[in-house]
Structure 1
Amino acid sequence: MTAVLGRTTGWLRARDTVVTERMDDPDCDLPTLFRTYAQFPVVNGIVAGWAITYRTEIRPRLTGTQHTLLDIGAGGGDVARSLVRLARRDGITLSVTAIDPDPRAAAYVRSLPAHDGVVYRQCTSSELVEEGAQFDVVISNHVLHHLSAMELGAVLADSEKLTTGIAIHSDIRRTRLGYVLYGAVTALLFRRSFVREDGLISIRRSFLPSELRGVLPSRWRVRSQPFFRTLAIFDSRG
């Protein structure tokens, strides 16, 4: 662990866009991938901060009792399900469409019990744009750092077209402290999955707020959030 940290701290001065996550390998071990999806509810519940994002950015914009939300790159769908639960506590029915183009993610969510309020689709955001779909809220979790510059631009443009309200892309903020803490905690709690290895790679690939501002279109803003989070936010109302 010490040796790995010693090598990596230098890399954290800049984004490492060369290294790739094991989950992104189409030939990665499928049972290990499915265990990773199964562990994401715990991991994201600890570090992803969606309860905070819901209260500060999403809830104030839900003025009625029924709303729609799109989760781009939803993976195992745990964030989508958690937002449905949060909204339900406030008396709001949130209908979520959780999309991911990866057939392995689609296979995983098909193995889960049906969840009232969430519909899973194997497709891209661009396909939904072509369908003319629109949603009150568009989100993603830990997606931006996976994308090339061209892919990032496409997802942001799609988000603007797909939302009638707000789009929020939540990602990791690259810090040495976050890297050390994540490595230590996941080494103890998460085994036989890609959670630790890919999480550390994700930190290395993630943006600083200043870096993210430099690649966002003019109508987007950046907000830092506790637990080493950075939000890219677009409000269709300006």
Structure 2
Amino acid sequence: MRLFTTDRLRSVLLRDRASDAVEEMDLPGCDPGRLERTYAQFALVNRAVAGWRGIYRRRVRPRLTPDTPMTLLDIGCGGGDVPVLLSRWAGRDGLRLDITAIDPDPRASLFATDRHASAGITFRQAAAAELVAEGRRYDFVVSNHVLHHLDGLPGFLAESARLSRGTVIHNDIRRSPAAYALFGAASWVFTGSYIRQDGLTSIRRSFTAAELTAAAPPGWTVARHAPFRNLLLLDTADAGHPEGPPAGG
């Protein structure tokens, strides 16, 4: 008797991306209390696994100065904890970084605006396409855990490239059985939210480094980042030249 069919084995080993899987928090009718707790718990999850401290030190901080403000856009900011961390680290280093954080979901935007009202960050309910239409441009364009949600990756990447006059950093999960097993073992502590079930779905929906490299347009590069991360990176052609339409919210 065969214990595993080929398709079942591929599923267990996460060989194929589960692009049709749906995260509960993305549904318009999901429980608002659980959703709010999910946004709140994102801060703990991202501090533990998203690796933004290393990204900031290696890819953001070297371009910042104490005198000239640089601008950063966070696309799909969710609960707003990542831009708050970036702003806090820059401030502690005596460096100037003006941050705008956007999310098209009104629930996320409202949570981030209320939770981080004193953080000195411009939060907006908006999609990247709206800022492109406004002619906005930023020295850094970043996202966290956005790529695996997308059905139209090329369009999103084109928008983020148009919004950048410097560096684009899309930080996302790298799919692997080890990531799935470790998150499954550790995430039981996140009760009353969608963190555990949606986190496992996110891993199943996420890209391997090879898949992301194949899906990205020319000019983009994929770098591995611990733990279990892909960084999709672009240095735009006019990096370092501040002229152009104003950035901001």
TM-score by length of 1: 0.92
Q: How far is the alpha carbon of 1:113 from its aligned partner?
A: 4.5
Report the counterpart of residue 223 of structure 2 in structure 1: 223
Distance 1:198 1:114 in 2: 27
Q: CA deviation at 1:53?
A: 0.8
**Aligned 1:146-165 pairs, distance under 5 A:** 146-148=149-151, 150=152, 152-165=153-166
Q: Which residue of 1 aligns with 2:79?
A: 76
Give yes or no for contact 1:94–1:117 (8 Å, CA) kept in 2.
no
Deviation at 1:111, TM superposition (A): 2.6
Quote the residue 2:106 is aligned against.
103
CA contact (8 A) 1:9 1:176 kept: no
Decide whether the 8 Å contact of 1:95 with 1:118 is kept in 2. yes
Distance across 2 between alignment mates of 1:146 and 1:194: 15
* d(CA) in 2 for partners of 1:209, 1:158: 21
Superposition deviation, residue 118 in structure 1: 0.7
- Per the alignment, residue 168 of structure 2 pairs with 167
Displacement of 1:63 after TM fit? 4.6
Q: Any gaps of 5 or more consecutive residues in structure 1?
A: 1-5
CA 1:37 to 1:7, structure 2 compared with 1: closer, same or farther past 3 Å? Answer: farther
> In structure 2, which of residues 56, 59, 62 is the aligned counterpart of residue 57 of structure 1?
59
Whole-angstrom distance in 2 between the partners of 1:16 and 1:45: 26
Give aligned pairs, total: 230
Tell me how far 1:117 sits from its aligned partner.
2.7
Displacement after TM superposition at 1:59 (Å)? 1.6
Alpha-carbon deviation of 1:11? 5.8
Question: Relative to structure 2, which stretch is displaced further, 6-15 or 54-63?
Answer: 6-15
Measure how far apart 1:236 and its partner are. Answer: 1.2
Give the root-mean-square deviation of aligned CA atoms.
1.6
Aligned counterparts of 1:8 and 1:122: Cα–Cα separation in 2:
39
1:16 matches 2:18: yes
Once the 2 structures are TM-superposed, how far is the Cα of residue 62 of structure 1 from its aligned partner? 2.4
Percentage of pairs with the same residue: 49
- Matched residue SS, 1:211: helix
Deviations 1:98-131 (A, max 9, x none): 1001011122123324133311100110100000
C-alpha distance 113-98 of structure 1, shift in aligned 2 (>3 A) = closer
Gaps (5+ residues) in structure 2? 1-7, 240-249
Structure 2 counterpart of 1:128, from 120, 128, 131: 131
Aligned equivalents of 1:90 and 1:163: distance in 2?
24
Contact 1:81/1:115, CA 8 A, preserved across alignment: no
Deviation, 1:64, is: 5.5
1:3 maps to: none
Q: Given the alignment of the two structures, is residue 233 of structure 1 paired with residue 236 of structure 2, yes or no?
A: no
Larger Rg: 2
